[in-house]
Structure 1
């Protein structure tokens, strides 16, 4: 249950992150350097957020150097990051890699997982999770990644695509098939046999990469089988964190549209005084609030799971994540699209940031499967006919 103390703590964290971003974030400088994905990351800003403010270690247990906080705190920070489009790998590290390490390592019981979580909490390491295959494969399909054991050493071979911030991550977490089943491995990006190729994407402020593994040395995290269950749960935690980013982005689009509607004059009146525009903005406000409600509910369920990882809480997590994912994806996409129309011609120019939010909305919508796929999961779980 969320207490008033939790609410106050998250509000303070949100305010601190917002102040840091207002002072130090400069997204347009990184859009200009967008041809090289290594230059899409503001390393100095990431150190402020991850190292000094501890955002990367929010979910990491205190005994491993983290804050021991919950998804609520991380989501509060990610709302602000989504609002600003700050080019930092916080989502890749804290939203993707950390949940996979927590669940995959038995919440730090595994030595390799504990070591990686400690380095992430210090702000010294950028990590990400590689789950997507080629467009013809489902997310989480590990058929093309094979792990081979020789004594105590492991190597992995195969290819992953659409790896978030894969070109700048120090460590990439890779699910792979062993002789016993599915396992999770940590691969150093600069290791022998690792080839990283940046991929072009619609989002100009978040990099993607294709990673080829040719007998690359890897470290096993947890057991050498059964990781598919942990991976599924970790991804559900990740999409909830991503939903917070989407709510933050949608809120910023709405705020920008309202502000512009007040200042843009047509026929000697602000366009915001016209009934059609007012009704549109109110409808968008309702959508954002409904999405925020779904996200907030999912955050509470996620924190319950982290406090008590059981079969019951895992089932609740899957349902809440699917609802939040579908609602927040569609809301961000719709609000970003309508904000473009409210801004009129200026919204479609390179000089305005409307298109950056539209690009981020489309990127987020497609990253781990579209909203319709998550509705199908809900229908299947409810026993509805296909």
Structure 2
């Protein structure tokens, strides 16, 4: 093994947060080494947004993040905004477009974002070592010593930027939590987030709707999202379900409003206007046929509206607006876009991402207990937290 190389900072992880931190710190004159066990940088960036990278969201705000400390993300997000990152994208000549709900994507490829971050690192003369799994991390005399592959590196600053265990096929692991615990930092129990939910038991009937999607409002634990839901062969997915999955815990119900566009009382109004109509035909005009059929079958209302008491119609309307599912689980880290939980924020500075009790240790990005909504929010946290740490190195 080589004799130690000396740096101002060692960044563990060449994902979004790690690359951002390294590039900014390097351009501030710091000598930075990035170590990653993968053979290339930004693997999660490359697959994001269908390969076009939903790189930020114009609606970024702290209330769109989950954390044991909901105020922790405020400082970093305020100091490095979505518009700051967009200015960087434009400075590199990357064409972009806005989809729905403030989501920004590359017109071309997610590879443009990785190339941009690597170019920023090159400006700061950042060194890289890929394909180098870390075998040990030690701390003594104010310096961190990292052994990875055939190298040993030392620096007074160490940045944990290895993310969480979501999407293990890309090499994701819980390594960040091992390092955190080694240095006495607490870890909020990690769990899959932005993940499809599974259905079992009596609700397995809905799995027969695999491939059917509809605009709904999904709710869980006080959070609600009005987007598409998709039924799968295992349960439910689609943006609305992925969003509420971050709030779901085993035993909690997920409520779905299948007709969020309808005003309260719509079914009684339909009885006055179309007395000969049946629930099945009304739902068939508003929802995909197979879904309308399944809901009608579950409600068990087959008579003409004129022959159905108002009380029963009101009950049917309420059920359609507040259909309760009891997920049996989720599809786990393999299908989770991100990891919720992680390195506890109460041991970190919200301004610098530095560990309060271990001088020179930082944690950024997905490794930290800050999880954004679907739609570019997690990338914006990666950029903002990486930038914040870089200011303090």
Scaled by the length of structure 2, the TM-score of the pair is 0.22
Relative to its length, the structure with more strand (as a share) is 2
Which protein, 1 or 2, shows the higher relative CO under an 8 Å CA cutoff with sep ≥ 6? 2
Q: TM-score, normalised by structure 1?
A: 0.23
Specify which structure has the higher proportion of helix.
1
Higher Cα Rg: structure 1 or 2? 2
